[in-house]
Amino acid sequence: MIVLAIVVPCYNEEAVLPEMTKRLFSFLDDLAHRQLISEASRVYLVDDGSQDRTWSLIAQQVAIDSRVHGIKLSRNRGHQNALLAGLLHAEGDAVISIDADLQDDLNAIEQMVEEFNVGKDIVYGVRKQRDRDTRFKRMTAEGYYRLLVMMGVEVVFNHADYRLLSRRAIEALRQFREVNLFLRAVIPLLGFSSSIVYYQRKERFAGESKYPLRKMLSLAWQGITSFSAVPLRMITVAGFMIFLGSLSITVWAIGIRLFSDQAVPGWASTVVPIYLMGGIQLLGIGVIGEYLAKTYMETKARPLFIIEQQIPDKNNEPMKDAHPPHS
């Protein structure tokens, strides 16, 4: 039987955390009773710098059940970094990441374990449909995935961060050192055998979404500029198209000047170059600046997260960073 680890990033989840752990352990007990997973399976709750009672509730769960491990980041580092902290510190033959809001169907875990047992290193949890979303949410979410694919970013359509990773996949993930983290595109780069498990996403049990439209747009831009050079190439294409347009307007302006009396002296030679060249230069500088900013952040090599406290702390090491030195 495999030892399963479940990683749950938590940010201001005091309203949902007690119910989440209750349901999660009830489900794990059922799997262990049916001998699908080992009774030594664990749950890792990662507090991403919460401002409510999330950490104290995690500490209570650790005191109640020895299978719970708490990881407290020193400050809020964002969902992706908190998730990575849990993945890199979790022990077990396979690690499943799941959100704390109880929207991901726990029954998919059993299917993921079955796929792992037949040799899959990565199992993606993918939503069957988005009938519970508003029309705007559905259009923007599906448009988000299509945009990433169009820009050359390899992602699994309608997959967020509900997935199983084998120990081999986790160790391969440990080798990635990038600061601009976008796990939905990093995981496919691992290249191991994978499969998909479909599930029906539920309503959030309590609290509010930690991914409003602003953060979703930010995450989309992060994915594009971290994994695709297409925007840079689009500058070249746009520049060429504008050059052709400018050339056409120039020919038109010359024709008006030579074959009619409607030409306005100085208009074409002044307005057309200013607007066209000014626009393409600003666009180019903006996109290039975004990539330079990311290069700047990567060269700093700052840790993605700093762990302030772990409970239970087997190694008695209260502070660990995301980038330990290579041996």
> pLDDT, tens digit, for every residue of 275-287?
677 767 767 777 7
Residue 313 lies in a domain: yes
234, pLDDT greater than 80: no
Q: What is the pLDDT of residue 267?
A: 66
Residues 242, 180 within the same domain: no
Residues 283, 176 within the same domain: no
Residues 199, 276 within the same domain: no
Residue 111, domain CATH:
3.90.550.10
- For residues 287 and 303, the answer to whether their CB atoms sit within 8 Å is no
pLDDT band at 198 (very low <50, low <70, confident <90, very high): very high
Residue 151 lies in a domain: no
- The identity of residue 129, as a single letter, is Q
Residue 79 lies in a domain: yes
pLDDT digits (tens, 9 = 90+) for 121-137: 999 999 887 766 667 77
Backbone φ and ψ for 179, nearest 5 degrees, come out as -85, -40
Cα–Cα separations (whole angstroms), residue 215 to 141, 212, 222, 273, 322: 12, 6, 10, 37, 23
323, pLDDT greater than 80: no
Q: Report d(CA 13, CA 160) in Å as an integer.
A: 19
Give the strands of the sheet with 68-73, arranged side by side: 194-199, 122-127, 159-166, 94-97, 4-10, 42-47, 68-73, 306-311, 320-321
314, pLDDT greater than 70: no
Strands (E), the chain: 4-10, 42-47, 68-73, 94-97, 122-127, 159-166, 194-199, 306-311, 320-321
3-state secondary structure of 60: helix
Residue 146 lies in a domain: no
pLDDT digits (tens, 9 = 90+) for 12-21: 999 999 999 9
Neighbours of 146 (CB within 10 A): 11
Q: What is the pLDDT of residue 169?
A: 95
Higher pLDDT: 35 or 315? It is 35
Quote the mean pLDDT of the chain: 82
Residues 178, 85 within the same domain: yes
Q: State CA 76 to chain mean position distance.
A: 16
Residues 50, 86 within the same domain: yes
Q: What is the pLDDT of residue 196?
A: 96
Cα–Cα separations (whole angstroms), residue 14 to 21, 82, 100, 306: 11, 17, 10, 22
- Over residues 134-158, the mean pLDDT reads 79
Q: What is the pLDDT of residue 319?
A: 42
Residues 292, 311 within the same domain: no
pLDDT digits (tens, 9 = 90+) for 64-119: 999 999 999 999 988 999 999 999 999 999 999 999 988 899 999 999 999 999 99
Q: What is the pLDDT of residue 212?
A: 61
Please tell me the total count of domains within the chain: 2
Q: Which domain holds residue 296?
A: 230-300
pLDDT digits (tens, 9 = 90+) for 250-274: 777 777 777 777 766 766 667 667 7
Residues 168, 121 within the same domain: yes
For 191-210, give the DSSP string: ---EEEEEE------SS--S
* pTM for this entry: 0.74
Residues 165, 296 within the same domain: no
pLDDT band at 51 (very low <50, low <70, confident <90, very high): very high
326, pLDDT greater than 50: no
